[in-house]
Amino acid sequence: MSDRLLVLVRHGQSEWNLKNLFTGWKDPGLTELGVKEAVAAGRKLKQQGLTFDVAFTSVLTRAQHTLDLALEEMGQTGIPITRNLALNERDYGDLSGLNKDDARTKWGEEQVLIWRRSYDVPPPGGESLKDTLARTLPYYVQEILPSVLRGQRTLVVAHGNSLRALIMVLEKLTPKQIIERELGTGAPVVYRLNADATVASVVDLAG
């Protein structure tokens, strides 16, 4: 019987995470801590005895670097990697590159909170989580899920909001529940799927 393994990992801390900036589609690299988190993710997966056949990531450096470091730690650098902007972080539009405190000063704390934590209200020029889901989910259904259902052990390294979109579908969460779902940097979430693509089990390797 095939394993139908799907592992999701959010990239390690980026330079802009550290500076409290809205990042979105901007492309800062990992911090020293982010590198350690990526290596730790690989170590946790190795300790679980997990191996992978294919990997998917976004076109952004912080996700790709996290994937490379994790695979190196597992000794699995030779597997095929597919990079696609469908897995990119939510586009924060006009907020991208702004300090979150400065954004609150400019637009007001309540408005910025709505942009950050509502499901379907996008910031100016950007995407809501609903928009991100509309971009990410078709790619998951057409490209990632078939790999899993074929029995290919699949690793996805991406971003907080693009992964939230997938988790929302996998765990059948409501818009309110997914907004409240925290996803730690470098923390693998291990799913095993049934033949009908529903979740048979889930293990969060945070901590």
Give catalytic status of residue 11 as yes or no: yes
Which CATH number characterizes residue 10's domain? 3.40.50.1240
What confidence score (pLDDT) does residue 179 get? 84
Q: What pLDDT, in 10s, does the model give residues 126-146?
A: 999 999 999 999 999 999 999
Q: What pLDDT, in 10s, does the model give residues 184-205?
A: 999 999 999 999 999 999 999 9
Specify if 15 maps to a domain.
yes
Q: Give the confidence band of 181 by pLDDT, cuts at 50, 70, 90.
A: confident
**Which one of the listed residues 37, 65, 73, 89 is annotated catalytic?**
89
Specify if 106 maps to a domain.
no
Range of the domain at 43: 5-90+135-204
Specify if 183 maps to a domain.
yes
Specify if 105 maps to a domain.
no
Number of domains in the chain: 1
**Cα-based angle 95, 11, 190 (whole degrees, multiple of 5):** 130
Average predicted confidence (pLDDT) for the chain: 95
Is the pLDDT reported for residue 1 higher than 60? no
Specify if 160 maps to a domain.
yes
Q: What pLDDT, in 10s, does the model give residues 86-130?
A: 999 999 999 999 999 999 999 999 999 999 888 999 999 999 999
Give catalytic status of residue 73 as yes or no: no
Burial class (CB in 10 A: 0-12, 13-18, 19+), 22: buried
**Which one of the listed residues 11, 37, 65, 73 is annotated catalytic?**
11
Specify if 129 maps to a domain.
no
Residue-wise over 23-54: b if at least 16 C-beta within 10 A, else e?
bbbbebebbeebbebbbbbbebbeeeebebbb
DSSP E strands in the chain: the ranges are 5-10, 54-57, 81-83, 154-158, 189-193, 199-204
- Which pair of tokens denotes residue 54? 């294919």
Specify if 97 maps to a domain.
no
Specify if 34 maps to a domain.
yes
What confidence score (pLDDT) does residue 3 get? 85
